[in-house]
Structure 1
């Protein structure tokens, strides 16, 4: 559970526009989440809290999360992410472009190894709380107590815009569903 990566990734996913300008987001509002595996998935988020609401960008963010897995999570792990934006009252699927949008990440373990090379300690606060950042993830409960993060100013491509978004992520291994999480939020640019 690379909490920081997951949270920042969901904030940076968005949609298309057409002004040719870069956008800076000032606020994330109406953040909500839920497990969507019907209670059958071996890996679940038990709790996830983000404060404040709205989240100012740039600004301070408090995060606490607890997740559990009843199986060892090991390679190959695939994450299939579907991102949608509400356009004139209709949810429109955002295509995958530059690994942002509705994308399939075929080897999450390898991606984690690229971000944090094997043999290197996990970054704080993961290290302090014994939360792994490399596969395999042992069976058990992982908890990040309320922790302060600074969310930097994020400049996004011109085709990312204000609006309401929802994302659904399915984590699988060898076609077996391990987890499903839905997230929704709104973005407002400055």
Structure 2
């Protein structure tokens, strides 16, 4: 099962796809079944770099998701471009926050079986669990699914991914990922989405 943690960046989007498979997260174990089995649409998507582009080791310059709106279940495409200023290798600690808007406040979703608002000691170690199961569009674009990420430019053009039922109930969500390494701050990315 592909688990869109609705991650920030390709780091949250791709990391979410990968971690869902690795960790075998089943959202239906934690969210009432009445929230599944129906079509849900991602009707609003906003992406921002919450780090310092002049200092971060990896900078995403663009991230687009189509169609607008994205339907779950269904197919969506991701396009992105970014630059690794230095080789990024293990360990890469990460703080992931996922929050749902309730009233006028965002409430963090808990960390359950390593998915949700969690701290990871090494994203590279998690990515290593996928072995050779890197999604074809990433392989074809020369984007590795495991560390190290060598210095250079990365570009993914209109890669299609099929997604089953929505993993989260309808509502407004905010997700962020903040990554570091021994060589400096890797990056910070935030997305805001609306599922309806």
Q: Whose strand fraction is larger, Structure 1's or Structure 2's? A: 1
Q: Which runs of 5+ in 2 are unaligned?
A: 1-9
Q: Whose helix fraction is larger, Structure 1's or Structure 2's? A: 2
TM-fit CA distance, 1:22: 4.8
- Greater shift, 137-146 or 36-45, is seen at 36-45
* Equivalent in the alignment of 2:87: 72
For the structure 1 residues 19 and 101, does the alpha-carbon distance in structure 2 shift closer, same or farther, using more than 3 Å as the test?
Answer: closer
* Equivalent in the alignment of 1:6: 15
How do residues 48-127 of structure 1 correspond to structure 2 at under 5 angstroms? 48-115=63-130, 117=131, 120=132, 122-127=134-139
How do residues 1-190 of structure 1 correspond to structure 2 at under 5 angstroms? 5-6=14-15, 8=17, 20-24=32-36, 26-39=40-53, 40-115=55-130, 117=131, 120=132, 122-154=134-166, 156=167, 160-174=168-182, 176-188=184-196
What is the alpha-carbon distance in structure 1 between the residues aligned to residue 187 and residue 133 of structure 2? Answer: 26
For the structure 1 residues 22 and 111, does the alpha-carbon distance in structure 2 shift closer, same or farther, using more than 3 Å as the test?
Answer: farther
TM-score of the pair, normalised by structure 2: 0.78
- Once the two structures are superposed, residues 33-86 of structure 1 have per-residue CA deviations (whole angstroms, 9 ceiling, x without a partner) of 111113221211111111112110111212111121101100001111112221
Q: Secondary structure at the match of 2:107?
A: strand
What is the alpha-carbon distance in structure 2 between the residues aligned to residue 96 and residue 32 of structure 1? Answer: 23
Q: Higher relative CO (CA 8 A, sep ≥ 6), structure 1 or 2?
A: 1
How many residues are treated as equivalent by the alignment?
177
TM-fit CA distance, 1:123: 3.4
TM-score of the pair, normalised by structure 1: 0.81
Q: Secondary structure at the match of 2:189?
A: strand
Q: Which runs of 5+ in 1 are unaligned?
A: none
Q: Secondary structure at the match of 2:173?
A: strand
